[in-house]
C-alpha cells in the first residue's frame, strides 16, 4: 500500500495500492585550535580570514568499540548539545577519516543522516535535537565534505565508493541496521544503500530526491528538468566550478541559500547570520569545494542502475517549491518501491526541506517511524 499526501494551505490525500573507527583524535565538530590557526593565517588563499564557528567544550566522553573520544559542545544559535567524532572504518582500504556529530544515548536504535550539496552535518541540526530522545542520531560529513577527509582524485568519488563508505561506517559504529535519512545528494546515496543493502535499512526516509532511475529517465524526456539540472554538466569542467563558487566572497554560495528563487525560508525558517557563516567558513577552506563537486563528476558513469527495486518501508518528503527538482518525479517514484510507500508534498517548502520546515518535517518523520508497516504481498 502507499499513501500520497499534500501538506499546505489545502490538504489533499490520495491512497494507492500498487500491484506490486581505529582510534581517533579528540576534537570539536570544528577543531578549534586548528581553525583558529587557519584563521590567523588567512585561510582560503589570500581571502580575508574568517572567524571559525565555535563549539564550547562541555567535557569529554569516551567512544564505544571502534568509536572515538569526543568533546561535547553547544552549536551557536541552535541550542544544540552534540558530540563530535572521527571514525576510521575498518573495512575501507582508503584509510579515510570520517567526521560525524551525534546526539542521543549509545545503545538506542541508530538514525543515520546524510546531507546534500553544498551542505555538511549542520544541515541536520534540527533533527539532531528532535530525535535524540528515541535514537542515537548521527549526522555524517560525507566523503570530501567538512571535516571528513577528501581524496584528490575524482575516481575516488564514484557511487560505489560512497555506498561502501556508509556500509563500513555503520559497522564501525557497532550497528547492523539503521533508520536511514538522506536529503538531495544524500538522498541519492540513501536510495542506493536501500537497493544494495536492504538488510541494513529498517526504514528509509528521503527528502527531495527521487528514485535514481526516475531521475535519469525523467531528465532525458523533460527539457525543463534538464535545464534545472544543468549544474550537473557544469560541474564536469575541471576547477572552474570551484572558482565560480568562491569568487566575490562566495557570493554564489550565499545566493543559493538566501535568494528568493532558490533559498531557505521563503515561507519557513530562515538561515541566521551564524548559520550562513558556518556554511561559508566550511567551504572557504583550501580545497573544500573540490570534494563535493567531485561527487557529481562521476555520476554519468554510474547511472542508470541495473538493480533498482526498493523493498524497505519508505517515506519521501518533497518541497513543492524546489527550484532544482520537478515534483512529478516524486509521484513516479512509487513504482520502484515494493513495500509501504508514503509521499508527502509540502506546498510551501523549498529544496532545503529539513531546514526550511523543520517542525513539519520532524512531525512527518515521527508519524512514519511510529507507523506499523508491513511488506506488500
Active site residues: 184, 296, 351
Write the CB contacts of 110 (distance below 8 Å, at least 6 apart in sequence). Answer: 135, 136, 138, 170, 173, 175, 177, 178, 179
Q: Which three cell numbers stand for residue 124?
A: 541536520
By DSSP bridging, strand 201-207 and strand 178-183 are parallel
By DSSP bridging, strand 314-319 and strand 341-346 are parallel
Element spanning 244, H or E: helix 240-258
134 burial level (CB within 10 Å; 0-12, 13-18, 19+)? middle
Q: Which three cell numbers stand for residue 101?
A: 556529530
End-to-end CA distance of the chain: 9
What Rg do the C-alpha atoms of the chain give, in angstroms? 20
Q: Which three cell numbers stand for residue 315?
A: 517515506
Q: Which long-range contacts (CB under 8 A, 24 or more apart) does 297-300 make?
A: 297/154, 297/157, 297/235, 297/236, 298/154, 298/155, 298/157, 298/158, 298/159, 299/159, 299/232, 300/236
Main-chain dihedrals φ then ψ at residue 135, nearest 5 degrees: -135, 155
89 with 171: CB under 8 angstroms?
A: yes
Using left for φ > 0, alpha for ψ between -120 and 50, and beta otherwise, residue 10 falls in beta
Give the torsion sign (CA, 121, 356, 110, 179). negative
Q: How far apart, in Å, are the Cα atoms of 370 and each of 294, 363, 364, 373?
A: 37, 11, 10, 9
Amino acid at each position: 500500500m502507499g499513501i500520497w499526501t499534500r501538506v499546505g494551505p489545502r490538504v489533499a490525500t490520495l491512497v494507492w495500492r500498487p500491484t506490486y573507527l581505529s582510534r581517533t583524535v579528540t576534537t570539536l565538530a570544528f577543531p578549534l585550535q586548528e581553525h583558529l590557526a587557519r584563521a590567523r593565517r588567512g585561510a582560503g588563499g589570500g581571502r580575508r580570514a574568517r572567524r571559525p564557528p565555535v563549539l564550547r567544550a562541555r567535557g569529554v566522553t569516551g567512544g564505544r568499540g571502534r568509536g572515538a573520544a569526543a568533546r561535547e559542545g553547544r552549536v551557536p544559535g541552535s541550542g544544540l548539545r552534540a558530540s563530535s567524532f572521527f571514525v576510521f572504518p575498518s573495512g575501507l582500504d582508503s584509510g579515510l577519516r570520517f567526521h560525524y556529530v551525534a546526539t542521543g544515548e549509545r545503545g538506542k536504535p541508530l538514525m543515520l543522516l546524510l546531507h546534500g550539496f553544498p551542505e555538511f552535518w549542520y544541515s541536520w541540526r534540527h533533527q539532531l535535537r528532535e530525535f535524540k530522545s528515541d535514537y542515537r542520531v548521527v549526522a555524517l560529513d560525507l566523503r570530501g565534505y567538512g571535516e571528513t577527509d577528501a581524496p584528490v582524485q575524482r575516481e575516488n568519488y564514484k557511487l560505489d565508493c560512497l555506498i561502501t563508505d556508509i556500509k563500513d561506517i555503520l559497522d564501525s559504529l557497532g550497528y547492523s541496521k539503521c533508520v536511514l535519512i538522506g536529503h538531495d545528494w544524500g538522498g541519492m546515496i540513501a536510495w542506493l544503500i536501500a537497493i544494495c543493502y536492504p538488510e541494513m535499512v529498517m526504514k528509509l526516509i528521503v527528502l527531495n530526491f527521487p528514485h535514481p532511475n526516475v531521475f535519469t529517465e525523467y531528465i532525458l524526456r523533460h527539457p525543463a528538468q534538464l535545464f534545472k539540472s544543468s549544474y550537473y554538466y557544469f560541474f564536469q569542467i575541471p576547477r572552474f566550478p570551484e572558482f565560480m563558487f568562491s569568487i566575490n566572497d562566495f557570493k554564489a554560495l550565499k545566493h543559493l541559500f538566501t535568494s528568493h528563487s532558490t533559498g531557505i525560508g521563503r515561507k519557513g525558517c530562515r538561515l541566521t547570520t551564524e548559520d550562513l557563516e558556518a556554511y561559508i567558513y566550511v567551504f572557504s577552506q583550501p580545497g573544500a569545494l573540490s570534494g563535493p563537486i567531485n561527487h557529481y563528476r562521476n555520476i554519468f558513469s554510474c547511472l542508470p542502475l541495473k538493480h533498482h527495486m526498493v523493498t524497505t518501508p519508505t517515506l519521501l518528503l518533497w518541497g513543492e517549491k524546489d527550484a532544482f527538482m520537478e515534483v512529478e518525479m516524486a509521484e513516479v517514484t512509487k513504482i520502484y518501491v515494493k513495500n509501504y510507500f508514503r509521499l508527502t508534498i509540502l506546498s510551501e517548502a523549498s529544496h532545503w526541506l529539513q531546514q526550511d520546515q523543520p517542525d513539519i518535517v520532524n512531525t512527518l518523520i515521527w508519524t512514519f517511524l511510529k507507523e506499523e508497516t508491513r511488506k506488500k504481498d
